[in-house]
Amino acid sequence: MLSVEKLTKRYGASKAIEDVSFEASPGEIVGIVGHNGSGKSTTMNIITGYLAATSGHVRLDGEDNVQCAKKVRRKIGYLPEVPSLYAELTVEEQLRFACDIRGIRNRKEAIALACASTDIEGVRRRLIGNLSKGYRQRVGLAQALVGNPPVLILDEPSSGLDPTQIVDMRRMIRALGREHLVLMSTHVLSEVSALCSRLVILNNGRVAADETPERLSERFRQRDLYEIQVDCPDETLMGALSEAGYRDAKLLGTQGGLARVRLIVKKPDAASRLAAVAKSAGGELRAFGPVMPELEAVFLSLTRDERYAARKKGGAEKEGVSG
């Protein structure tokens, strides 16, 4: 169990993060999400022990990452946004070096497991400087995996990768999440949707939400907004809906032979009433359910870079004075 308790990091009068708290357990892939400058990397660097908090605690299995620093760090594998790799070393030499730093005695077994988990067996003897960005990122992940630590901290793991490499990286992270606690920061919301079982959303250094993607969507959805799918012509269905009193219905188009319509529904027996409308139009109600907001809309509702807004406002006021 990873426990983050009221973490605060100050730089003079400025606070990078303030009272950040959350918990995570093995088998979870938790996304740390936020706008640039929201405190994602600061939080992760404190968890890994690379940065000291001004106040607050990080505990892993009940052990404080400051008081029991060496013991806690052995349980954490860290992949920074730009992996620390030596271009003049081969992949195997880099991983041996990582084993030596971490005090891993059975290097052969540790390296074999890390290479197998990241699909880099075929490049073990190649120079890192000659590898593609995608393979360098895999080597960085393998380096985080040596010793098979129970916790993996991944900072923007797909940064700079092409679409094929992103798919491969997601596949590996998903597999690792079955046996490890994976904590990953990203601002790519499609990655969050594809991988994360829970989100910790940061807004200007504070936790704005700590929930599953499904619960976040449910919390922010418009309560009376629904979508139906009916297997009949668009115009016929829209006419039947209008006659039944659904004059605010909006046709979204046809998909797979089904007319998709979004409409406001307030009556408790809406499903049976809409089934009757569909039947009157010569079709059958194939789907009926609430319209769930996209994660992007939820993110925008919860976050706003106040530092950027302050700079923008200041610039606007300056322009007004000079103009």
Phi/psi at 280 (nearest 5 deg)? -65, -25
Q: Are strands 55-60 and 2-11 parallel, antiparallel or unpaired?
A: antiparallel
- The pLDDT value recorded for residue 39 is 92
- The pLDDT value recorded for residue 292 is 86
* Predicted confidence (pLDDT) per residue in 80-103, tens digit: 988 989 999 999 999 999 999 999
- The pLDDT value recorded for residue 119 is 92
- The pLDDT value recorded for residue 261 is 96
**CA gyration radius, the chain:** 25
Which residues touch 95 (CB under 8 Å, ≥6 apart)? 107, 110, 111, 114, 115, 139, 142, 143, 146
Which residues in the chain come in under a pLDDT of 50? 316-323
Asked whether 185 and 154 are in contact (CB, 8 A), the reply is yes
pTM for this predicted structure:
0.80
- The pLDDT value recorded for residue 321 is 39
- The pLDDT value recorded for residue 56 is 96
Mean pLDDT computed over every residue of the chain: 89
- The pLDDT value recorded for residue 269 is 76
Nearest 5°: the CA angle 75, 55, 74 is 10
Helices (H), 196-257: 213-220, 234-243
- The pLDDT value recorded for residue 94 is 97
Q: Is 86 left (phi over 0), alpha (psi -120 to 50) or beta?
A: beta
